[in-house]
Structure 1
Amino acid sequence: MTEAWDAAVEAQIRGAVQRGEFDNLPGMGKPIPGRGMPYDESWWIKSFLEREKLPSDLLLPTPLQLRRRIEQVPDEVRDLPTEQSVRDFVGQLNAQIVAWLRNPEGPRVAVRPVNVDEVVHRWRAERVRPEVTTPAVAPVTAVAPSRRTRRSWWLRWRRRG
């Protein structure tokens, strides 16, 4: 029975080739991506993340995702307009941390709630700090030192030594 099935499938493939249904397919004549590379069990996840332009942090377990978010708090609150928005942001993050602490799953990683007052204090300090601006200075044209100036510098240096 399998031989008859194989013969029928082969006949359909030969007919499709003769009709030209396999001509000009996308990727024709190009090497197969990943050929010659060692097998990776999560190749489809990695290709999905790359294709959809998603961060690879999504593959991390929950406690590591939370730790990474805690590290990024200063960068994320820097552009928030009000103190209340900073407090709300940190409050939402702390709610996620507490929810994980109540029902931890994944690797045991130390994760603690973020100190809201400390984040607000840093946020204020960055807001008060004046922007460092370079004063407008007229461009200076470079003038090559005269031969006499270079020689006198050399003589002064030799006398010291």
Structure 2
Amino acid sequence: MSIYNYQVTLENGETYSLEKYKGHPLLIVNTATKCGFAPQFKQLEELYEDYQDQGLVVLGFPSNQFHQEVDDDAQAAATCRMTYGVSFPMHTIQNVNGEDALPLFKYLTDETQGVLGSSIKWNFTKFLVNRDGQVVKRYAPKTNPLKMKPEIEKLVK
């Protein structure tokens, strides 16, 4: 089992398989535009710009599970792009915990059980995935994305 077994939906409604990113290291983040950690969008974009030529893809998954996101997929993505300059793919607003959680996030949390607890505690929990679709590390919401550079550099080599 890997992340390639999952389908996700972009903010424009286009559904695709994560197999599209086979061979690429991924940084998957649950986001919220009204969260106190929202300035991390700038660091996430910086990582995307710095490493996309080496294959890194950052994927943003908005969630209103913590009541810090707008109610509209397109508006959430537009806020990310206009306020923070985000150019990486943004997806539809989904739950990241519980029975209604996006299956991808059930997989990510199952793969990292015991690391920061099993459920996602807050927005901007970050998951680093290797080129083979395996989760290699989970980062806390408060972790500055730029502190992830050493691990990202190992994956893009």
Under a length normalisation based on structure 1, what TM-score does the superposition of the two structures give? 0.20
Under a length normalisation based on structure 2, what TM-score does the superposition of the two structures give? 0.20
Report which of the two structures shows the higher radius of gyration computed on alpha carbons.
Answer: 1
Which protein is richer in strand relative to its size?
2
Which protein is richer in helix relative to its size?
1
Structure possessing the higher relative contact order (Cα contacts under 8 Å, 6 or more residues apart): 2
